């Protein structure tokens, strides 16, 4: 069945994401302790922190919305009896995209937060969010 191939592909992608999260975190720690990074001077530190907190809150709203738009609505269509051949290609493409967006978005937001605060904990927070979301969403549980 095609779902078996998709589950295997997404499981591989998920494992790569786990490795990337670890690599990015180690590289970030290395950079933090060996390279002097300065806070961006565009705004005051108070405004920078508000922006960082806004990014964190945004991430908690964005990820469930992305999951719904990219994966869940196609699964609901399949359960409601929509034509399998019509839904499966979209589901395959968009579920792969969702796993990519988890790591990509959290890495970019982590870099922005780090550059605004020069606090490695913010980058590691975004990597932790990516780790938790990737751990929660298991391809074997998603698909029938």
pLDDT tens by residue, 61-91: 999 899 888 888 888 887 787 777 787 788 8
pTM: 0.86
Res 59 pLDDT > 60: yes
pLDDT, residue 144, reads 58
**DSSP-based three-state secondary structure for 114:** helix
Tell me how long the chain is.
144
Instruction: Say which range, 27-31, 93-97, 108-112, has the weakest mean pLDDT.
Output: 93-97
Cα–chain-centroid distance for residue 134?
Answer: 7
Count of CB atoms within 10 A of residue 71's CB? 20
pLDDT single digits (tens) 12-53: 989 999 999 999 999 999 999 999 888 877 888 889 999 999
């Amino acid at each position: 069945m095609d779902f078996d191939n998709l589950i295997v592909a997404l499981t591989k992608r998920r494992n790569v994401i786990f490795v990337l999260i670890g690599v990015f975190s180690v590289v970030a720690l290395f950079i933090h302790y060996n390279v002097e990074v300065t806070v961006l001077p565009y705004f005051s530190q108070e405004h920078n922190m508000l922006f960082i907190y806004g990014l964190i809150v945004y991430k908690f709203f964005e990820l469930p919305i992305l999951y719904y738009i990219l994966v869940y609505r196609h699964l609901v269509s399949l359960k409601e009896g929509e034509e399998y051949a019509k839904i499966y290609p979209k589901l395959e493409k968009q579920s792969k995209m969702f796993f990519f967006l988890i790591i990509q978005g959290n890495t970019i937001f982590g870099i922005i937060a780090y550059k605004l605060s020069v606090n490695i904990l913010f980058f590691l927070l975004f990597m932790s969010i990516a780790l938790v979301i990737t751990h929660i969403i298991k391809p074997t549980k998603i698909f029938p």
